[in-house]
Structure 1
Amino acid sequence: MGSPVWPRMRDAVANWRPVITVETLALLGSLYFGLTANGAFWKAAWVASGGQVPLMGALLVLLVGLHGLLLGLLLARAWARQLLGVLVMGSALAAHYMSAYGVYLDGDMLRNIAHTDWAESRELMTPALVMHLLIYGVLPAALVQRTRLAARPFLRAAAVRGLFLVAMWSLVMAGAALSFKDLSSLLRNHREVRYLVTPGNYLYGIARMALSGDDRAQAPLLPVAEDARRAPSAAARRPRLLVLVVGETVRAENWGMDGYRRNTTPELAAAGVINFPHVSACGTSTEVSLPCMFSPFGRADYDESRIRAHESFLHVLQRVGVDVAWHDNQSGCKGVCRGLALDMIAPSSDPALCNGLRCYDEILQRAVPAAAAPGARDRVIVLHMLGNHGPSYFQRYPPAFERFRPACHDAELGHCSQDEIVNAYDNAVLYTDHVLAGLIARLAALEHYDPALVYVSDHGESLGERGMYLHGMPYSIAPRQQTGVPMVMWFSSGFAAQTHLDVGCLRSRAAQPTSHDSLFPTVLGLFDVDTTARRHERDLVEPCRARGPA
């Protein structure tokens, strides 16, 4: 005969539906978040405080109180279980990425995540993520759904909720009082740890995104440089063609021409480009840098709402008679090219260069015109590269470019050594070098244009330094690996002659520090566009141009 114990246990589990109050659920949720979703926070706080155990205890009390306040305000009996289940899943997801890649969840990072395309998201869906979500997300969320919430008359429920909020506020005050001196020192000297407090970090970021609104994406862009005028052109000159290449996630530290220990840029060095070794990015993510680097406001006068609401210098060029087109092998132009010609590279457009999800960057070379049509106007072609977008650096270059070995072949970077990660990253830089050199060769062969090329990366990347990977750190605390980017320029003899440019002079000045803020005045200057919005002191080329007819 079978034992009756197992059927009874099975029935007990099936019938397990504890009755608890919403306040109890909120407190349990706060404890759960504090103990399981904040590993990155505890690690950072432990290191920053020098391992002060009393401070850790005070921080736990503070975290439980803060999240208790938050949940006490958000949870109502009608939706408490469903909302808490969503928060548990979201916190498990956030905790995994913060621990695995050392990222910080501020508003810019959340916006970057929100605009991530399927191909990028797919690369981050690793077995480690699935296991983490099952243990810390699905299982506790399922337990939350098994509870039954006690009902109370409205007035009594309101009174109990008020007392609960007072109790949580008292916990916050108690946590602060327990170790006030050490706590204030931690928050003053290591303000970045606040971006690790989960789920408070992403809830705050989502609220900021909601308040800022996406209606600006639908509103007409406000004009910039309305007084823009072009200098008269010399008769019968050939049209100018500028190929502006926006690199992706390439950092200056691994750029061969910037003094890196490896020669990751051999073909560009042979092509005689002008290298700018000290360039600072507008931001640490594409979502921030791309609008910023094409804007007249830039990092020096950074105002996100203002930047996104206004036109870029591409619109100014189009308005004064320069043809503009954007070709994208990434996740879009982030509003920079709104209203302009846009070509999104289809991930299945060429079986030799594409795998159905991504295309190698060589496909962008097709955007270079073979010849100019009769009466063609000056042109700017923007090429937005896939570049070194992580974490799957090994998928950014063809196998023939895997010269630095062993290379990491895993999107879960924690499974690879730092040397393996750097090898894969450097292989991708080597491929970028090859693509750019190929573009220059195509441009040099043109007979009906006077061409030039400018390349600059949008932001850099962390490859394990100080436990950080990828990018998107808040700019104020971002390491140089995420803010220092490479930039090169190449000018045909015809383009240099047309613009009266002394290439030797520019080469000698290139070592001076500069930033993305120079892009707006420099590109407008290359097409002889003058406007009060153009900051001449930031124009990299103007000091090396002689006065004369265009």
Structure 2
Amino acid sequence: MVKFLKEKTDLTRISSVLSLFTLVAFHWPFFRLVLGNIEGGFNGVLITGGLGVLMFALNFLVYYLVLFLGRFAGKCILAFTFIGNAISLYFINTYQVLITDKMMGNVFNTRYSEASGFFSWSAVWYLLFLGVVPCIYIFARRFDYGSWKRFFARTGIALAVSLAIALVNMQNWPWIDRNAPKLGSLVMPWSYTVNSVRYYNSVKKQNRKEIPLPDAKIVSDSKDVCVLIIGESARRENFSLYGYGKPTNPLLEKDSVTALIADAAATYTTAGVKAILDHKPSNKLYEILPNYLNRSGVDVVWRSNNWGEPPVHIDKYYKPKELKERNPEADDRYDGILLAGLREEILSGSKDKMLVVLHTSTSHGPTYYKKYPPEFEVFSPVCTTVEMSKADPKELM
């Protein structure tokens, strides 16, 4: 084994091995999607085989370039991609996600407390065998980088093969173009690298300063308090307020609450919360509701057990840590911490108008069973796994 590691291996061979490993280990979801969306026959074989060869050739080209030009730094870059590939594949297989620019936005806006809840022993095995082992192989092998002449020959062949495959499949480009968004989100490592760049470009294009709305005019002297509770997206088909069979909303039904027929603007926090606080659907950074009312003389209080909201420019912005310091007796494990001392804060307000926003964690997955005290565990069976693909649908519901 030691002799094997001490022997230099040709860069062509190492790039081929890594490219083949990338193709086989990380692209089962990709080819499952391809096979599920094409018709049989020769054309189907041409698309599937062509995409496989194209991916192999392009990965070979990039791996060869990175290793030849980067040397040790190139090894570090490739090691990073294999770790990223392993983590991405775990989430794709376990949660059926697509690695899009919006998904990368979720990644960059998450916290350790949330991210750690997604990991399981399966994640460890993915990371170990598909991420760490290839990294050890990359750093342990000694490479024969060869000459510039060989470099241009190998990269030229890889480019020629890629172009040839593209030309052979020219008639199938319309099919590839139609399915490009989903296909691209499953190609490793390009899905998360390209979409990370796309996400940051979209952030840069946003207004760096909020666009102010027309000045507000308060027309009454009465003392008014509005409490806006923002929760996670949930299916109304499982709410008794909307006709579901089980009594999931007994207290709200007792108070004759009117349940509006509403749809979530998005299935991820950053876009969903922005839509609730914006005055109209827009990709621009307009003044959001709490900032607007605060500027207009309203007493605004924001209490959050979550994250991902647009920039909130107010003085009274509290996270569980601050609320716990002000109310030591409160339990900061659940959303109930958002109510700690709230009554006193409302009564002590000096202004006639007050907006209180409670940004809850509620049904933020996947550790659903940790989001409520034991006495609230009314329905069973309870889902205690973070691997949704292995969960019983009845438990999830």
Larger RCO: Structure 1 or Structure 2 (Cα < 8 Å, ≥ 6 residues apart)? 1
Pairs within 5 Å for 1:460-479: none
Residue 256 of structure 2 is matched in structure 1 by: 272
1:417 paired to 2:363: no
1:292 paired to 2:267: no
Bigger fraction of residues in helix: 2
Q: Select the residue among 316, 321, 329 that pairs with 1:346.
A: 321
Residue 81 of structure 1 is matched in structure 2 by: 75
Deviation at 1:105, TM superposition (A): 0.7
Deviation at 1:372, TM superposition (A): 2.7
When residues 208 and 164 of structure 1 are mapped into structure 2, their CA distance, relative to the original with a 3 A threshold, is: farther
Q: Select the residue among 120, 131, 138 that pairs with 1:137.
A: 131
1:66 paired to 2:68: no
CA contact (8 A) 1:250 1:387 kept: no
When residues 411 and 14 of structure 1 are mapped into structure 2, their CA distance, relative to the original with a 3 A threshold, is: farther
SS at match of 2:347: coil
**4+ runs deviating over 6 angstroms:** 213-217
Residue 25 of structure 1 is matched in structure 2 by: 14
Whole-Å separation in 2 of the counterparts to 1:347 and 1:409: 30
Q: Supply the AA of the counterpart residue of 2:2.
A: V
Whole-Å separation in 2 of the counterparts to 1:56 and 1:289: 37
Whole-Å separation in 2 of the counterparts to 1:295 and 1:144: 49
- What's the RMSD between the two structures over aligned residues? 2.8
Deviation at 1:351, TM superposition (A): 7.4
Residue 233 of structure 1 is matched in structure 2 by: 220
Whole-Å separation in 2 of the counterparts to 1:138 and 1:248: 35
Pairs within 5 Å for 1:103-502: 103-152=97-146, 156-157=147-148, 159-182=149-172, 184-189=174-179, 191-212=181-202, 221-225=209-213, 227-234=214-221, 237=222, 239-277=223-261, 279-298=262-281, 302-303=282-283, 306-307=284-285, 310-330=286-306, 332-346=307-321, 349=324, 353-354=331-332, 359-366=333-340, 368-370=342-344, 372-373=347-348, 375-422=350-397
SS at match of 1:274: coil
Deviation at 1:187, TM superposition (A): 4.0
When residues 65 and 292 of structure 1 are mapped into structure 2, their CA distance, relative to the original with a 3 A threshold, is: farther
1:100 paired to 2:94: yes
Deviation at 1:193, TM superposition (A): 2.4
1:90 paired to 2:68: no
CA contact (8 A) 2:323 2:337 kept: no
Deviation at 1:275, TM superposition (A): 1.2
Whole-Å separation in 2 of the counterparts to 1:105 and 1:30: 20
Whole-Å separation in 2 of the counterparts to 1:121 and 1:260: 31
Whole-Å separation in 1 of the counterparts to 2:329 and 2:159: 60
CA contact (8 A) 1:27 1:68 kept: yes
Deviation at 1:211, TM superposition (A): 4.1
SS at match of 1:276: coil
Whole-Å separation in 1 of the counterparts to 2:246 and 2:103: 31
Worse-matched range after superposition: 316-325 or 334-343:
334-343
Residue 42 of structure 1 is matched in structure 2 by: 31
CA contact (8 A) 1:22 1:80 kept: no
Whole-Å separation in 1 of the counterparts to 2:349 and 2:246: 45
TM, length-normalised to structure 2: 0.87
Residue 56 of structure 1 is matched in structure 2 by: 48
Whole-Å separation in 2 of the counterparts to 1:232 and 1:41: 58
TM, length-normalised to structure 1: 0.64
Q: Supply the AA of the counterpart residue of 2:263.
A: S
Whole-Å separation in 1 of the counterparts to 2:234 and 2:165: 43
